Structure 1
Amino acid sequence: MAYLRPRSSTSVSPASSIDDLRSEISYDSEEEEERLAQQEWDESVQQLQLLLTVVVFPFFGKWLGRRWSGILFERYQTLGLGKRFFGLDLLPP
């Protein structure tokens, strides 16, 4: 089974067409590499944002909330729930 290749409709000298083709290919490949690099960078940034949003922020939020609640509970046990608890006793009358 033979495969046919389409012929170019323009007739150009082989040497100049090869040079043109090489410069065109190198230009396209540089553009393509830059586009792929940018696409990979964007995907990496998106994955990092997802990691922060789904894993890191909730973990630290939970940790900070538990720590803060422990501090507040200890303060409640020592001072009670009055003006001193909220620091209002330091304000001038």
Structure 2
Amino acid sequence: MQGRGDAYVQDYVLLSSQASSNKDIKIVGQPFTQEPYGIGLKHDDTTFKDFINKFLVTIQDEGQWTQVWKTTLGTVTDADAPKPPAIGSVPGS
């Protein structure tokens, strides 16, 4: 926007947020890194963790994961919805 470069790389969600509020920013291509995000829970709260995990599996299985992508980040990028991460695939999860 300042004319100092043609492109830049940033965290995908932050870049998408900027693109949603500035029509001059265009996101192109597929993400080329994996940036795991998580849902913070009280340590050892297995009941709530099980509830969250069941909810995540449900929205993935019923196609809502992809629909949420299309109506949020998908509105500012030409990338396809990413494959949902496997539950428990990130250390500490």
Tell me the TM-score normalised to structure 2 length: 0.22
Q: TM-score, normalised by structure 1?
A: 0.22
Larger radius of gyration: 1
- Comparing both chains, which one has the higher relative contact order based on Cα–Cα distances under 8 Å and sequence gaps of 6 or more? 2
